[in-house]
Structures are given as structure tokens and as C-alpha cells.
Amino acid sequence: MLRRYHPRQSAPSVAYEHRLLRFLADHDWPVAPPIVAGTGSQLETEAGRWALFPFVEGEPPPLTNRALQRKGALLALLQADLKEWPETEQRPGFGRITDLDTPLRQDGFADFHALTAWYALKDPARAEAFEAVRERNLADVRAGGYDDLPDTVVYFECLGNNVLFEGDDVSALLDFDLAHRDARVADLGRSLAYDGGLDGWRLHFWIAGYQAHADPPLTRQEVALLPSMMLAAEIWSTAIGMASLDRHPAAWLEESVRDAIDNRLPKLELAQEELREVIRGAGGYPNL
């Protein structure tokens, strides 16, 4: 399978991903390391940066609570092995989930405020609302102690159809193009925001599967942080999508950004306490 990387992915960033895939393959994970040719595992042309991967078999997971539980367990086991990844430097072009400035520089913006200032030229009300929700979220995650949590390598894509199955067996893990260093709650928060959203039962099964296999299990502090990390993940995705509109405008992406600011972010923010109650119970801390 021939893959073209997003323009924001530099040669060192792609090389990081390829080394990580080889590490995981050596640890018997069902990933597809790139095929190495005479010039290495990536090729840059006028049309972009490319890599060739072997085709993997498998089907997307069914939309069941059992599948969500298995995804949670899978992420916990993956994180345990990723602790052995020997590289301690951050992936080039990446930062923690609250550090939007670093990835946005890859799209030509000096920082997050430069992005919202650009967006305000055509939609000032939404730009202001986006700035505000991010500031509130930053205050919440800092108050919850996120800044003090240790870094590890996070997959950041254990969601949607990136986990393939053959029967009851996991056949492939796809899309490591966002793997980087962060606290593990950021990894879990993004999975929960995408696969669980505001559905309490879906969140319950995801967390229960994760917590049953996590080494060590999530602490009280980490469990309490997860709703804020879900919101941080949605903010991160919205900012990256907004930045792409500058160079790669598309009607569907414009609509997605507007929907995030008008609907997804406000609903997720309003539900923070309800989500916290659900996640506390699933994580084994009902009286937190």
C-alpha cells in the first residue's frame, strides 16, 4: 500500500514513526512496518512524501460494547510495551495535547493565537468562542495536575477503524502517524472522545477494558482528569482541522470546524461533571 503523508510531516517525523513501527513489530504487535528500498523507508517527490507498506488483512470492529472493551484493553497492553521504547525525545513537530503551538507551526502559524486571529478574519464569533473554551480547558487540566504527569509514548489513534479484527483476533493496528510523547491520559482521552463521546455506556466499557489491563491502573487523579482530556482532544482536533483550511480549503472540513465550535465542544464542556461520574465508576473510584 502506497501512502502519501500530510505536508506537515517532516522527514525526521516520518522516520520516528517508522522506527516505532519496527519496534512494535519486534514485540509481536500486528503492525505493518514500512518496506525499505534502496533509499530507505520514505521518498520525497514534488508531489509529497511517500512510504510503501504491506497490505494487512482484517475488518473494522463491530459497533458493540464488547468491541469497545477490547479496544480499551488493547490500548492498555500497548502502552505497557511502549514503555520500553528507548527514545526519550519528543517526536519532531509534536507536543503534548495542550501544546498547540508546536504542531501549528508546521502549518505556518506562529502559535494558537495566530491561528484564531486568522480565522477571526472570516468568522470572529466562532474564533472568540474557540479561544474561550480552550482557555477554560487549559485551566481545568492544569488544576487537575496534568502538567505533572509523566510522559510516555502514546498511540493517539486507538479509535474508529484503526483496530482491525479477523474473527475475535486483532489483526492490525493502523495509523501511527500521530504517535508521540504525552501523558497516557491524553491517549485515552482522545480514544474516549472519538469512540465514546457523550454515551455513558460506551465510555464505561472502554474504561473498564482499559483499567482491567493497565499497568499500573489509572490513579484517582488520572481518572478525574479524563473528561478534561476528552475536551482537550476535541480542541486539538479542531485546531488541526482549522489550520488545514488555510492551505487546503474544503467545504466538509469547514463544516466540521463550525460544528465542533457550535456543537461538539459546548456539549462536551457542559457534560464534564456527568462524564466524570461515569468514568469514576468505570475506573473503580465511584466515591472520588
Which pLDDT tens digit goes with each residue over 69-94?
999 999 999 999 999 999 999 999 99
User: Which residues lie below 8 Å from residue 139, measured CB to CB, with a gap of 6+?
Assistant: none
Rounded to whole angstroms, how far apart are CA atoms 73 and 158? 11
pTM: 0.95
| DSSP-assigned beta bridge partners for residue 37 | 40
Per DSSP, 77 falls in state H
Does some domain include residue 73?
yes
> According to the model, what pLDDT value does residue 288 have?
57
| CA pseudo-torsion sign 154, 207, 190, 288 | negative
The per-residue pLDDT of the chain, averaged, comes to 94
Contact 37, 86 (CB under 8 A): no
Q: How far apart are CA 212 and CA 10, in angstroms?
A: 37
Per the domain annotation, does 94 fall within a domain? yes
Check if the beta carbon of residue 48 is closer than 8 Å to that of residue 14: no
**How remote is the C-alpha of 56 from its chain's centroid?**
22
* pLDDT for the residue numbered 207: 96
Positions in the chain whose pLDDT score sits under 50: none
pLDDT of residue 100: 97
Report if residue 241 sits inside a domain.
yes
Whichever domain contains 217, its CATH number is 3.90.1200.10
Q: Does 154 reside within a domain? A: yes
Q: Any residues with CB less than 8 A from the CB of 194 and at least 6 apart, and which?
A: 159, 160, 233
The verdict on residue 31 lying in a domain is no
Considering its fold, how many domains does the chain have in total? 1
**212 Cβ contact list (under 8 Å, min separation 6):** 73, 76
State the Cα–Cα distance between residues 240 and 103, nearest whole angstrom. 8
What pLDDT score does 173 carry?
97
Give the max Cα distance, the chain: 59
The answer to whether residue 24 is domain-embedded is no
How high is the pLDDT of residue 39?
Answer: 74
- Residue 261 resides in a domain: yes
Q: Note the pLDDT of residue 45.
A: 85
Task: Tell me which residue of 136, 105, 169, 173 sits closest to 272, measured CA to CA.
Answer: 136
Q: Assess if residue 3 is contained within a domain.
A: no
pLDDT, position 6: 84
How far apart are alpha carbons 151 and 83 in whole angstroms? Answer: 10
pLDDT at 48: 80
Domain that residue 252 falls in: 58-283
**What residues pair up with 153 in beta bridges, in sequence order?**
181
Integer Cα distance of 64 and 68 in angstroms: 7
Per-residue pLDDT at 201: 95
> What confidence score (pLDDT) does residue 50 get?
84
CA distances, 87 to each of 82, 147, 156 (Å)? 10, 21, 17
Between CA 270 and CA 281, with CA 276 as vertex, the angle to 5 degrees is: 150
